[in-house]
Amino acid sequence: MTSPLDLDALRTAIENIDEEILDALRRRMDLADDVARSKLATAAPFRDQRREDLLLRRIRTRAAEHGLDPHEVERFWRLVIDMSVARQQALVTRLDTTPLRVGYPGVEGSYSHLAARRRYTGRAGGVLLTGFDHSRDLVEALRRGEMDLALLPIENTTAGSMNETYDLLAEGGVVITAELVSQVDHRLLGLPGAKLEGLREVISHPQALAQCEAFLREKLPWARAVPDADTGGAAQKVRERNDATVAAIASETAAQRFGLEVLARELQPEFDYTRFVEVGREATPLAPGVPCKTSLLMVLEHKPGTLGEMLQRLTLRGVNLSKLESRPIPGSPWQYRFYVDVEGHAASAPLTAALEDIRPLTSFLRVLGTYGRAEGSHG
């Protein structure tokens, strides 16, 4: 029998048990792949809340029978369930025979469509790209399980943040699984034969209009800027209206798609990029060593100095903050929620400790997702 004072032997015994736990966890994740294939074959949802509740109830009972804290064991088991669902969701993106259903806001030729093509073209199992008139419709379809992923624009280096995307993330039910940075290259599109001096109206997404504000002010001060749902849709409207006094700011692909002529190039600053986030219903695993970032949503306690204290606690834990965005809370005048991007994985020791440090300063705190950092993204 091992002596109570033989610390090295005790540690070795614990490490051996840890190996057994890891091996059992690997076998459980392997079974999760089989479960995912079965669910795909039977069109069953990846998440069954009733079954999860029954499982956790059984786990709590068994934990007590083993002399363990039922609440702590349940917390651990919830993490195991989340890992299993994430593994199942990730299988969909790996299978060669299952088309991935990806939605984007806008029509064919919009920048969101071009970004989706860039990200998913070449996937062995194929991709079904679907455009939606509004980002809200897309996210609701994702929540219902009609889409596997959504690609949403979230910020631009010239025009700033897309507030609608931030607000949709705040509503819950989805997580950020990846990001993509795409260079914006706007064109002014009109009917064949249209002239700059004859234009009276320029249609585009509000962000595109903001990105090209200097061009419109200097070159077309007499033309009225008209916001539209997306850039590709604006190009489509120019074609449908068949009016030579109307132009759109959109991509060259949109010009080809709708039979329009490029009236002007170089409408925005030379280095203009849009950041997109890929959104899913569940988190997906990240390979070891992948540079990643974590997006957080928090509501701070309404006390003087709370924001500064939160930032200081992140700094003391060595957590690098790459973005801080505030948005009004609907129905709560002069109250704000904060979107924070930090470097690192939410499950890493520094970030886990930092989140525990700042939690007392918040009335609400949620991880919006941990994902691989895109090349060229800030932070």
CA distances to 101, 162, 261 from 116, in Å = 11, 17, 24
Our measurement of the distance from residue 130's CA atom to the centroid of its chain's CA atoms, rounded to an integer in Å, reads: 17
What are 67's two structure tokens?
A: 């002399």
Question: Catalytic residue among 98, 276, 294, 370, which?
Answer: 276
Domains of the chain: 7-94 (1.20.59.10), 96-184+268-284 (3.40.190.10), 187-266 (3.40.190.10), 289-379 (3.30.70.260)
213 is in an annotated binding site: no
303 is in an annotated binding site: no
Read off the pTM: 0.74
Give the length of the chain: 379
322 is in an annotated binding site: no
Instruction: Say whether 276 is catalytic.
Output: yes
The Cα–Cα gap between 161 and 140 comes to 21
219 is in an annotated binding site: no
Instruction: Say whether 274 is catalytic.
Output: yes
Please say whether the beta carbons of 226 and 249 come within 8 A.
no
Residue bearing the bigger pLDDT, 280 or 335: 280
pLDDT digits 0-9 by tens, 239-284: 999 999 999 999 988 898 889 999 999 888 777 889 999 999 988 8
Question: Catalytic residue among 158, 165, 253, 274, which?
Answer: 274
* Residue 342 scores a pLDDT above 50: yes
Output the pLDDT for position 322: 93
pLDDT-based confidence at residue 53 (cuts at 50, 70, 90): confident
